[in-house]
Amino acid sequence: MNEALLVLYRHKTWATLALIDFCKGVDDAVLDATTPGTYGTIRDTLRHLVRSEEGYLARVTGKRHSEALGDEAVSLDELAERIRRMGPHWEAAAQDPDLARRRVTTDDGWRLAGGVVMAQAIHHADDHRTHVMSVLSAHGVEGPDIDIWWYADENGEVQHVPVAQSE
């Protein structure tokens, strides 16, 4: 098992939860705003991110882990809970030595390696978290630090050591 893949999935869950949690304190006008070059409003983007992630997980594991999200409005708390529930399943998938090579078929008939779907899940979440951060910034709100460095620091995976100065 590639430990880096596990870190990527743990970061994906952590970063998405941190962003959703941050958005709970953001004014409704900003949550319902968008900016050019992004998916849509913050609420729509987060719902899309979660719904897609549930689909990717179902595709690689062969089962749905919750009832599919529809197009109706859903609370940020519900989105966070869905991400929280998926986290352990993504970690298990990342540790499955055969999953990356296993062939899966999409709902629209494409057959591909599970590793492609797994990589898409990471990319897709990162892309749409960036969209949310862009909308926040465009409306004067500084979003949370959710990159890998902050994740590693918050989880005790980083330490500062003295560096010898050259003369």
Q: Are 42 and 135 in contact (CB under 8 A)?
A: yes
DSSP 8-state secondary structure symbol assigned to residue 106: -
For residues 27-52, average pLDDT: 97
Decide if 106 is inside a domain: yes
Task: Estimate to the nearest angstrom the gap between the alpha carbon of 73 and the chain centroid.
Answer: 19
What does the pLDDT look like over 78-112, one tens digit per residue?
999 999 999 999 999 999 989 889 999 988 899 99
What's the pLDDT tens digit per position in 148-157?
999 999 999 9
Question: CA torsion sign, 53 to 55 to 56 to 60?
Answer: positive
CA distance 69 to 48: 9
In this structure, is residue 167 part of a structural domain? no
42-51 pLDDT, tens digit each: 999 999 999 9
Residue 51 lies in a domain: yes
For residue 11, being part of any structural domain is answered with: yes
- Structural domain including 46 reads 3-154
More confident residue, 71 or 137: 137
pLDDT (0 to 100) of residue 1: 52
Dihedral over Cα of 90, 107, 68, 143: its sign = positive
- pTM of structure: 0.92
- Listed in order, strand segments (DSSP E) in the chain are 103-105, 111-113
Classify residue 163: in a domain, yes or no: no
Mean pLDDT, all residues of the chain: 93
Q: Is residue 30 predicted with pLDDT exceeding 70?
A: yes
Contacts from 116-122 at CB under 8 Å and sequence distance 24+? 117/56, 117/59, 117/60, 118/5, 118/56, 118/60, 118/93, 118/94, 120/56, 121/12, 121/52, 121/53, 121/56, 121/57, 121/90, 122/8, 122/9, 122/12
Asked if the structure places residue 160 within a domain, the reply is no
CATH number for position 127: 1.20.120.450
Overall number of domains in the chain: 1
Reply yes or no on whether the pLDDT at 139 is more than 90. Answer: yes
Kindly state whether residue 40 falls inside one of the protein's structural domains. yes
Rounded distance between C-alpha atoms, residue 2 and residue 58, angstroms: 22
Give the pLDDT score at 70: 79
How buried is 123 (Cβ within 10 angstroms: 0-12 exposed, 13-18 middle, 19+ buried)? exposed
86 within some domain: yes
Please say if the pLDDT value at position 19 is more than 90.
yes
Q: What is the pLDDT of residue 167?
A: 65
